[in-house]
Amino acid sequence: MKTYKAKVSATVEITAIVKEYDNSEIEIVEVDEVLEVNDFDNVRPL
């Protein structure tokens, strides 16, 4: 088994602190907890 840092594209469900702007744009400020990770699209070592 290998363990390494990677850039991962996936569908995730998280709890987080977010900012919502007047133009409906949302920014994730802080991720509290990762609840579920699905559908890995791409995993690339850093």
pLDDT at 24: 93
pLDDT at 4: 96
For the purposes of burial, counting CB atoms within 10 Å of the CB of 26, is it exposed (0-12), middle (13-18) or buried (19 or more)?
A: exposed
Q: Cα(2)–Cα(16) distance, rounded to whole angstroms?
A: 29
Asked if residue 17 belongs to a domain, the reply is: yes
Asked if residue 39 belongs to a domain, the reply is: yes
Give pLDDT tens digits along the chain (46 positions): 999 999 999 999 999 999 999 999 999 999 999 999 999 999 999 9
Cα angle for residues 10, 38, 15 (degrees, 5° grid): 80
pLDDT at 36: 96
Element (H, E) at 12: strand 6-20
Q: Are 38 and 3 in contact (CB under 8 A)?
A: no
The one-letter code for the residue type at 45 is: P
- How many folded domains does the chain comprise? 1
Asked if residue 1 belongs to a domain, the reply is: no
Asked if residue 11 belongs to a domain, the reply is: yes
